Amino acid sequence: MFKQMGAALPEMASVKRSNHAIKSFDGTSITIAEFRKDGSAPGGKAIYHIHGGGMILGGIDVFEKSIAKKCEEYGIPIFAVGYRLAPENPHPAPVYDCWAGLQWLSQNAEKLSIDARKIVVVGESAGGGLAAGTCLLARDQKLSPPVAKQVLIFPMLDDRNITPLAGIEELATWKVDDNITGWGALLGDKAGSTDPKAVSEYAAPARAESLVGSPPTYIDCGQLDIFIYEDTKYASRLIEAMVPTEFHVYPGMPHAYYAYAPDATFSKQHEQNVKTAILSV
């Protein structure tokens, strides 16, 4: 899947990448990669990007071409966080790395020529779950200014999703066994626990007691994605919490559908919907 997400994309000569080394919550150095289009206007909105990979795979380099393409198309800078992966680095490392990166970006906004009031946190799959967890941390730690919007693309939110779904599992590109592997790597034997206090809501945002105070949200999912029910429930809870929420379900689409069929109608609709959600900030 990762090969498909970048293999067909051209190099973006107009986009330059520079790396920033920052200290995470425990003093470990992590990388924030800055992607900026030549001639882009200073002082505007920015994307804080958290990559997918089931908590155990991926990295900035894997997604570099797709990030650069978005940077070129949107005309705004993108800052991608190189968070540590499980199982070598279980919770809290991944989400707290992401939180450290967001704090750094907000605190250095003027130096980086962006508007701290217009930072959009974006993540796909596991990155979508980490984006949601990071935004919960930003809410609870009272990040100021607050996150402008969270864009959660088929997010991985609930470690309790361990039962195959009839009609979906046999068509799934990310299966329940994969989900169990990813959550197990992140949480160890606490993954899937029925104890509501066993797992931090920052690791598994579906466990959050309240979503009140979350940033305005865009969320989407394919109908044949094993995350469809947890994502639908999360969107419903955001709406109940009076959070401005936009939710899309793409009929007949599996997990990461646009990587497999980038020219499909729903893939193009998804790309336009995400672009509109981000640029509306």
- Domain of residue 198 covers 2-279
Number of domain units in the chain: 1
pTM of the model: 0.96
Question: Residue 50 sits in a domain of what CATH number?
Answer: 3.40.50.1820
Contacts of 172 (CB under 8 A, 6+ apart): 224, 225, 226, 254, 255
Which one, of 130, 65, 134, lies nearest residue 105 by Cα?
134
For the segment 44-85, what is each residue's pLDDT rounded down to a tens digit? 999 999 999 999 999 999 999 999 999 999 999 999 999 999
| 122 band by pLDDT with thresholds 50, 70 and 90 | very high
pLDDT at 34 over 90: yes
Q: Give residue 88's pLDDT.
A: 99
Q: Give residue 98's pLDDT.
A: 99
Alpha carbons within 13 angstroms on the beta-carbon side of residue 281 total: 30
For the chain, what percent of residues have pLDDT higher than 70? 96
Contacts 24+ apart (CB under 8 A), 165-171: 165/226, 165/229, 168/224, 168/225, 168/226, 168/228, 169/226, 171/224, 171/254
> What CA dihedral angle connects 270, 67, 57 and 116, to 10 degrees?
-90
pLDDT at 247 over 60: yes
pLDDT at 191 over 70: yes
Which one, of 120, 107, 108, lies nearest residue 77 by Cα?
120
| 10 band by pLDDT with thresholds 50, 70 and 90 | low
CA distance 175 to 113: 42
Q: Could you give the strand order of the β-sheet that contains 114-124, starting from the edge strand earlier in sequence?
A: 15-23, 29-37, 78-82, 44-50, 114-124, 149-153, 217-222, 245-250
For the segment 166-183, what is each residue's pLDDT rounded down to a tens digit? 999 999 999 999 999 999
> What CA dihedral angle connects 217, 99, 210 and 186, to 10 degrees?
110
